[in-house]
Chain A
Amino acid sequence: MLFADLTTSQTVMYTFSRVEAIAVKAQLLDEGGGIQDSKKFSLDPDITSFEMLQSLLTKAFNMKGKFMISYVTIDDEEHLVQLSVHNDWDLDAAILNSNSVESCLKLIIQQKSPDEGLGDWDVVQRGDIPEGSDRRSISDNLVHAITDRLSSILKPGKKSKPEELYKPSKSPMTDAEFRNYMDCDGKLVNERAFRESIYQGGIDPGLRKVTWRHLVNVFPADLNGKERFAYLQSKAKEYAMLKDVWKTNLKQGTVSEELKFVTSMVRKDVIRTDRTNSFFKGREDNKNIESLFDILCTYSMNHPEVSYCQGMSDMAAVLLVVQNDEANAYLCFCAIMKRLKYNFMFDGKAMTCKFDHLKLLLSYYDPEFWTYMIENEVNDLFFTYRWLLLEMKREFAFNDALYMLEVMWSTLPIDHPLNGVSLSDVYCTCNNSLNLIPKQLISAVASSNGFATGSGTPTPYTKLLSLVRKSSAHSNTPSGNQESIKQMFYDSQQSLPCEMHNGNLHDQENNINHSLEISVSQEPQELSSKFYIDVVTDKNGVLQYKDELLNSGSLEIIDIYNISTDVGESIISTSSMDSG
């Protein structure tokens, strides 16, 4: 084993790029935990990658074989904890936290034992494992089952207890195993195997925080560790701004009916959501309860179509406990709500559909039981409402529920958000600058500038906007379509002659071709790319679709959030030429 002290040469601010150099003091520990060797060196956080650190340490200590690096920091409860460094992302986090312990960061690096995986158990802190079952526990106590299992692995001679009721087909995913699914840049490359593993054995509680973000489809595809870090940071910034909007309204007393309703409902529920869990225990001004309140209010105010519905607090609480960070929990919440929001909607259509499916299943698989239910007039299955709405979350003790949820979620399709998870239905970001523009304002600008040609005939722009609005009003498209829609985007781009890219017109039998330029901003910002849509209006300015892309169906994917102001400008020029 090896211990390394990183001493920062200057105070580390939140933006680590300001630090020019970090002094590293590394200590190699032997198997018994004693100091075997120690070295001092410095590194430049801007250019040092995880790989470089590894090779540096290999050289410095003449290491043979694989070894693991972890650093020591202080957790929220002021305890010293060890966290593993597996990739650039972790390294960034380590450097960010390098001033947390006596202005130096302690790394624990461990020679990889032949029995891979056991070493990782070192990093599981007591606090990482949620406390014992607080409600009806179905599988006795999962944590005990896991620890029993662990001790039977640690001591091969010891036989596992005969009363072991539940045995997952494999042990929970550990740090070491998780790393196998990533390449050297920290890109998650073997996602299918990653999910299969979770399905078979769940996730080590200490690893949930990181893995759940992948599991609930928070990241766009193919991000490496560094990009994910930047993505999370930018989303956290965006969340802070969204939260600020309604908070300011509250402070200034400009409280809309909706805000009044949402805050009072959410307040009533957060003080009775999982309060027996140590995370939310104690007084009502517990900061975690406040975080839960902020997450739910921000979501509700930014998703007026969903607003707030009881039960949402249960789902958000689970994510907040696991993420232990408000902004990240919000991001995860938005990601799962993309799928779950229909359950919570006022019209009840999604729930009705679920009941129907369940009835069908039951009558098919157990006709005898189904007949019994009909005889007893419970065939409406309303008693399963909570099961379905909360994906069984409340039917298990909290810890068991975490395990159950991750296993269940691992069976869902991989669904990387093309341009990152949208945090709001109301606001869009413009030119990646994170300036928030209310959606209503954009449509207002469109109509006030008199884009309509002649007697109220819709211009491509107004048509486009109305389509986008329409699509966001009933965006029931299964998200699985994203891949094919993305392909359509590329196809359309290739089919267009380049001279049409800047909003040129082409008169052909009185029809006018417009090329609309749409910038789709991807996070992180460097990945921003532009797409072009080809549309045709006839001589009266009525929109004729040339490209399938502009059919309302395919337009649904153009989340207003992803359309930058470039579009507006491009279309403005098109429209003005049109009228002239």
Chain B
Amino acid sequence: MESSSNEHIDYVFKVVLIGDCGVGKSSLLLRYSDDFFQESYLCTIGVDLRIRTISVDDKRVKLQMWDTAGQERFKTLCGHYYRGAEAIIIVFDVTSENSFSNVLRWYEEARQLSRQDTVLVLLGNKSDMADSRAVSTERAQSLAASLNIAYFESSAKLCDNVKETFTATTRKMMEAYQKHHRAHLPDDLTNSKSLHMSQPIKSSTSLNCFDCSIM
């Protein structure tokens, strides 16, 4: 899509999507990475990976987006991915009260397992289904405010506000990164395990936007 085999990458960020089953995590990622929507997409087993390279404020950013299974049973496995994440997007379905009431649980878990500088974001999906909406924007916003995290609303189906959400999240990750690494910028980051400020990454040639789903 936007990446070529030999380009310069400024940041590589890991983003993990979590939330109840069927809220549209995979659909959001499919829309964002492949600009494609399928009404009845497969349920995720374990974790899935999608990659997209974007430009934000003149920086080239490679996003590794981890799609996790929503079912409780896979939690141990998925929790493993929280620690390496620069951002965790908690997704709920605006037509499902239940998925909204579980947000707090997801939030607490994410806070517990992630790093201090990990950006958390709340995302209400399926905003196109106005008729069956169960959670108002105001309620979601006030919950996000009480947790001190940003709130976005999107529709993977209509491709509404998906790109914007990821761009805004990326910007937040860049801010958080700079805040935590100001002392070290810009050169001595090659040893940083969690964040690779890198020269062109060799393996990226095989990990282009399409077909990068390894699971």
Q: Which residues in A have some Cβ–Cβ distance to B below 8 Å?
A: 265, 268-269, 271-273, 275, 309-311, 313-314, 344, 346, 348, 380, 382-383, 385-386, 389-390, 394
Contact = CB atoms under 8 A, between A and B. Distances in A.
B202 to A, nearest CB: 11
Contacts of B22: 268, 272
B193 to A, nearest CB: 8
How many residues of B sit at the interface, in one of the four size bands? 20 to 34
Interface string B29-45: 00000000000111111
Contact of B215 (A273, A310, A386): A386
Contacts of A344: 73
Contact of B71 (A265, A271, A386): A265
Contact of B80 (A273, A380, A394): A380
Interface centre among A275, A310, A394 (most CB of B within 10 A): A310
A268 B22 CA distance: 7
Contact of B43 (A273, A346, A380, A385): A273
A390 B215 CA distance: 12
B47 A382 contact: yes
Interface in B90-142: none
A265 B21 contact: yes
Given A310-B74, A346-B73, A383-B214, A389 B45 contact: yes
B41 A390 contact: no
B28 to A, nearest CB: 15
A311 B45 contact: yes
A268 B45 contact: no
Contacts of A272: 22, 40-43
Contacts of B80: 380, 382
Interface of B: 21-22, 40-47, 49, 69, 71, 73-74, 76-77, 80, 214-215
Contacts of A383: 46-47, 49, 214-215
A311 B80 CA distance: 20
Given A268-B21, A310-B21, A383-B214, 14 more contacts: A265-B71, A268-B22, A272-B40, A272-B43, A309-B73, A310-B44, A310-B71, A313-B43, A348-B76, A380-B80, A385-B77, A386-B215, A389-B45, A389-B46
Given A309-B71, A309-B73, A385 B42 contact: no
A380 B77 CA distance: 10
B43 A386 contact: no
Given A268-B21, A309-B71, A385-B77, A394 B42 contact: yes
A265 B69 CA distance: 13
A348 B214 CA distance: 22
B73 A268 contact: no
A385 B73 contact: no
Contacts of B77: 348, 382, 385
Contacts of A385: 45-47, 77, 215
A221 B22 CA distance: 43
B51 to A, nearest CB: 14
Contacts of B215: 383, 385-386
22 contacts: A268-B21, A268-B22, A268-B43, A269-B43, A272-B22, A272-B40, A272-B43, A273-B43, A275-B40, A309-B71, A310-B44, A310-B45, A310-B69, A348-B77, A382-B77, A382-B80, A383-B215, A385-B46, A385-B47, A386-B215, A389-B46, A394-B45
Nearest to B84: A377
A309 B45 CA distance: 10
A379 to B, nearest CB: 13
A310 B40 contact: no
Nearest to B49: A383
Contacts of B47: 382-383, 385
B176 to A, nearest CB: 22
